[in-house]
Chains A and B, each alone.
Chain A
Amino acid sequence: MTVGFVMLCHTALDRAAQVARHWAERDCPVVIHVDRRVAAKPYAQLVADLADLPNVRFSGRHACEWGTWGIVAASQEAATVMLRDFAQVRHVFLASGSCLPLRPVEELRAYLNERPKTDFIESVTTEDVGWTVGGLDYERFTLRFPFSWRKQKWWFDTYVKLQRKVGFRRKIPAELVPHLGSQWWCLTRQTLSAILEHPERATIDRYFQKVWIPDESYFQTLVRQVSSTVESRSLTLSKFDFQGKPHIFYDDHLQLLRRSDCFVARKIWPDAVKLYGAFLSEDRSRQAVAEPNPGKIDRLFAKAVERRVKGRPGLYMQSRFPNENHENGRTAGPYSVFCGFAEVFETFEIWLSKASGTRVHGHLFAPDRVHFAGGETIYNGALSDNAKLRDYNPKSFLTSLIWNTRGERQCFQYGPADTQDLNWFMALDGNAQISVISGAWAVPLFHSNRNFGEIRREAARLQQVEQEFLNILRGPYTKARVRVWSLADFVENPMEPLQTIIDEIGPRQARRLTEAPRLIDLTGFGQFLQNLRNQGMQPVLMGDFPVGDDPAARSPRRGRPYLVK
């Protein structure tokens, strides 16, 4: 007993001839169907190429447009020829002209001989398939589809809508239960002949002629009526991309295809010289007979689809520039923004870097230059510290920085004196952790040696800028993790907020802060604020600092260590 191949061909006929010859010479009869739209000359060439083989037949030609009845008609006719002309055939294997056998024919024959009654055909009820393209699953069977989906898209869609509106439903004949599945099957003589000689075949054929994509449902549905042992999987390795188009295999897939242990794969790139050379010359078994296992390589295909559809979060490049809110992650990873901390603590950056084990930058958006960690002038990815370059496109600057340093959390200082272009961007970014000590910008002014009139003007400006930033952060759309303390509240008890922030940055470390950063001297700050008030400016963001009650005098250098669970 042997297996016969039905081949549906429409392009690359030389490759089809090569594969047909391979099978025919190994005592597997082949029936070839060539698409009617193929010109006479190449067809005649194919016939001539295979003329010396006694067990190759050509069947009557149908036009096989994608998703139409022609493909089923072609399969039916070719299968009829196969069953009629080759009595020794027990299994019929439906293949295409771009299929390639991956394992020796002997192994396939042995595999099928061990399972003489089994039909290998993917056959799934419409409720269970997740892969239908175009959103039509059960409606494939209840609506009529006289228009081509590819060439008459508008008519196709409109006619579907019209039928839905009118409530039109076709009756499914002969008590069929619709099933769907891969077009490529391998059926036993008994099953196939029962389908082809079905008493109601004329009715069934007429019905399926107006079903959408009947090649994925005709045999898949009928097999359930006539077969006793359906193994619902295809012996052909065939993978589809997100548009439902088959993946093509190239020379560099050689190892991948070997690993799959499948018997036949499609589609093969016609110029894949190495693949054709390697697989068509292999007759000896490489190892013990293995079950076909396309699952081994599934992950690769799933990843490719994901890359195409979702992309890499936080990456902006020539292939990917998502519209706002379609980013699937505005930035590539979590990062922390500190407002006012460097103003309140001495050497805060060094302390934070030690305590959290992250990369801590100064004011990245300072007006003079980018203050990268360690005073670098060129940072990862060759980012420049030039302020004009950064301000030319601050969003690209920040997203590039986070992308270039993926795997290492970035922290940076920010404040109202910096470029404010990214306030909205960061507020809407779920990766941002923004911690603000409001009003802390007043501390450097307090320590500065400038004229008071100048200080007053600058304080008014910075307060307004920070107020706007806080308004954005408090808005309903904010996705960043935002914490805001007033300066007065913060210096009252600095350890608890710090512990919270550090825990959130590195939850696994979960260690207690032993060393606190040193608070800057605030003696006289209350008086400074009072002076501002006396000059007509109203400092509000720093909270309540009574004159004379200096926090520095009250709180010790080391705040009470506090563990937040």
Chain B
Amino acid sequence: MTGPVQSLLAAMSSAGRAYALRTRRRRNLWRAFRSRHALRVVKDRSGTIGPGDILCFMSVRNEALRLPYFLDHHRKLGVDHFLIVENDSTDGTRALLAAEPDVSLWSTDASYKRARFGLDWVTWLQICHGHGHWCLTLDADELLIYPYWQTRSLPALTGWLADQGLPAMAAMMLDLYPEGPLSQAQSAAGDNPLTVLRWFDAGNYSLRVQERTGNLTIKGGPRARMFFTEDPRRAPTMNKIPLVFWNRRYTYVNSTHDMLPPALNAVYARGGGEQISGLLLHTKFLPEIIAKSAEEKDRKEHFTNSSLYDRYYDAVTADPVLHTAASEPLTSWRRLEALGLMSRGGWI
């Protein structure tokens, strides 16, 4: 019998779910508010942010190698200001960032893991500075590309997204790797890491919808096939929503994989069409990952249940070859689109 009682129950349970998500979002905001005490200002240039500026938020630790090229790449795309939390670095990251004219820098020694993997800090900065701006939230090893990125700036993209009534854009991580062992892919600070990390997996991704929040969960790529064959469930999630027209009441839930309120997770088409999406070229597998993995295995700061990932760290420390005969070389975004990894989604 599907009577009024059942439909009432269904309505109540969906209302209950919505309320639970709302509570979660508000808890995240509260945590972010509390975490402001952990942040120490190093260089605050946020006064130079103008209306309509595109902002980039992130938290970093020991990324002096990647940051020069990272900043350069996103500056060229049209990011106007970077707001960065530096956590416990020992390699000169702080000095490097403080010297950049378009970076506002905060510093903290608090636990990355207990700050929801840095999200609490970033959310606080977004509450303070992100409202009413298009905001990119990235990691230092991610380079955003999108359809036409070489000829059209970010303001062209965000302007089009706004015209289309889209508040956010998806960009999946694409793990890049060198042709030989990881240790071979030497790259100096400021160099383009894409000259040595030239390969990727084109078509081994698993997709699922999380019914509760409506976001996709994409797993796969070289890390899944090399390090998580015993337990694919623990393989890293690849989908992200890095570009959002921010409101101070928004929060990311789990890295930038999913958001609250859940309507923001609808960055993909469910009726058969395609929505626009970009890619985050993931430069994780530079040679320093080998030393870093050994360190992170001891620090236990990157996963909720860190000991489960010891095998992964060990495997990376062993300097593996991720390249296979079926790997695809990185060429143009049009090739990436033709392979079905990103889409222009009606943008001409």
Chain A residues proximal to chain B, CB less than 8 Å: 239, 241-243, 245, 247-248, 250-253, 269, 271, 300-301, 304-305, 307-312, 315-323, 326-328, 378-384, 386, 388-389, 392-393, 396-397, 400, 403-404
- Tell whether, in the assembled complex, residue A393 and residue B343 are in contact, meaning their CB atoms are under 8 Å apart: no
9 contacts between A and B (CB under 8 A): A245-B164, A250-B156, A252-B151, A253-B348, A309-B346, A326-B270, A382-B201, A384-B229, A400-B205
Most chain B CB atoms below 10 A, which of A309, A312, A318, A403: A318
Distance of A296 Cα from B258 Cα, bound (Å): 42
Q: A245-B164, A381-B202, A392-B206 are in contact. Are A323 and B270 (CB under 8 A)?
A: yes
- Tell whether, in the assembled complex, residue B207 and residue A317 are in contact, meaning their CB atoms are under 8 Å apart: yes
A311 in complex: contacting residue of B207, B219, B274, B347, CB < 8 Å: B274
- Tell whether, in the assembled complex, residue B347 and residue A304 are in contact, meaning their CB atoms are under 8 Å apart: yes
- Find chain A residues with CB under 8 A from B233 CB: 392
- Find chain A residues with CB under 8 A from B247 CB: none
Q: A241-B346, A320-B274, A321-B209 are in contact. Are A389 and B225 (CB under 8 A)?
A: yes
- Tell whether, in the assembled complex, residue A400 and residue B348 are in contact, meaning their CB atoms are under 8 Å apart: no
- Find chain A residues with CB under 8 A from B327 CB: 382
Q: Chain A nearest CB: distance from B265 CB in Å?
A: 11
Distance of A382 Cα from B276 Cα, bound (Å): 25
Give the interface residue-count category, chain B: 35 or more
- Find chain A residues with CB under 8 A from B268 CB: 318-321
- Find chain B residues with CB under 8 A from A252 CB: 148, 151-152
- Find chain B residues with CB under 8 A from A312 CB: 274, 340
- Tell whether, in the assembled complex, residue B216 and residue A321 are in contact, meaning their CB atoms are under 8 Å apart: yes
Q: Chain A nearest CB: distance from B161 CB in Å?
A: 12
- Find chain A residues with CB under 8 A from B329 CB: none
Distance of A384 Cα from B341 Cα, bound (Å): 18
- Tell whether, in the assembled complex, residue B269 and residue A311 are in contact, meaning their CB atoms are under 8 Å apart: yes
Chain B residues proximal to chain A, CB less than 8 Å: 148, 151-153, 155-156, 159-160, 163-164, 170-172, 201-209, 216, 218-220, 222, 224-225, 228-233, 239, 267-277, 324-328, 340-348
Distance of A326 Cα from B273 Cα, bound (Å): 9
Q: Chain A nearest CB: distance from B150 CB in Å?
A: 9
Q: Chain B nearest CB: distance from A373 CB in Å?
A: 13
Distance of A400 Cα from B326 Cα, bound (Å): 14
Closest 7 CB pairs of A and B: A381-B203, A308-B346, A393-B206, A392-B232, A382-B201, A319-B343, A404-B203
Most chain A CB atoms below 10 A, which of B206, B224, B228, B341: B206
- Tell whether, in the assembled complex, residue A319 and residue B170 are in contact, meaning their CB atoms are under 8 Å apart: yes
- Find chain A residues with CB under 8 A from B326 CB: 378-383
- Tell whether, in the assembled complex, residue A309 and residue B206 are in contact, meaning their CB atoms are under 8 Å apart: no
- Tell whether, in the assembled complex, residue B207 and residue A316 are in contact, meaning their CB atoms are under 8 Å apart: yes
Q: A323-B271, A389-B224 are in contact. Are A318 and B156 (CB under 8 A)?
A: no
- Find chain A residues with CB under 8 A from B152 CB: 250-252, 269
Distance of A388 Cα from B233 Cα, bound (Å): 10
- Tell whether, in the assembled complex, residue A386 and residue B277 are in contact, meaning their CB atoms are under 8 Å apart: no
- Find chain A residues with CB under 8 A from B201 CB: 381-382
- Tell whether, in the assembled complex, residue A403 and residue B346 are in contact, meaning their CB atoms are under 8 Å apart: no
B225 in complex: contacting residue of A248, A316, A384, CB < 8 Å: A384
- Find chain B residues with CB under 8 A from A309 CB: 272-273, 346
- Find chain A residues with CB under 8 A from B155 CB: 271
B274 in complex: contacting residue of A271, A300, A308, A378, CB < 8 Å: A308
Q: Chain B nearest CB: distance from A366 CB in Å?
A: 16
Distance of A315 Cα from B337 Cα, bound (Å): 11
Q: Chain B nearest CB: distance from A552 CB in Å?
A: 41
- Find chain A residues with CB under 8 A from B271 CB: 322-323, 326
- Closest chain B residue, CB of each to CB of A394: B206
- Find chain B residues with CB under 8 A from A380 CB: 203, 326
- Tell whether, in the assembled complex, residue A328 and residue B207 are in contact, meaning their CB atoms are under 8 Å apart: no
Most chain A CB atoms below 10 A, which of B170, B219, B277, B326: B326
- Closest chain B residue, CB of each to CB of A389: B232
- Tell whether, in the assembled complex, residue B148 and residue A250 are in contact, meaning their CB atoms are under 8 Å apart: yes
- Tell whether, in the assembled complex, residue B230 and residue A318 are in contact, meaning their CB atoms are under 8 Å apart: no
Q: A271-B156, A326-B270, A392-B232 are in contact. Are A304 and B348 (CB under 8 A)?
A: yes
- Find chain A residues with CB under 8 A from B274 CB: 307-308, 311-312, 315, 319-320
Distance of A384 Cα from B343 Cα, bound (Å): 25
- Tell whether, in the assembled complex, residue A317 and residue B273 are in contact, meaning their CB atoms are under 8 Å apart: no
Q: Chain B nearest CB: distance from A121 CB in Å?
A: 25
19 more CB-based (< 8 A) A-B contacts, given A320-B275, A326-B272: A243-B164, A251-B152, A301-B348, A308-B275, A311-B274, A317-B277, A318-B267, A319-B170, A319-B345, A320-B269, A321-B209, A326-B271, A381-B201, A381-B204, A389-B204, A389-B225, A389-B229, A393-B232, A397-B206
Distance of A250 Cα from B208 Cα, bound (Å): 35
- Tell whether, in the assembled complex, residue B225 and residue A382 are in contact, meaning their CB atoms are under 8 Å apart: yes
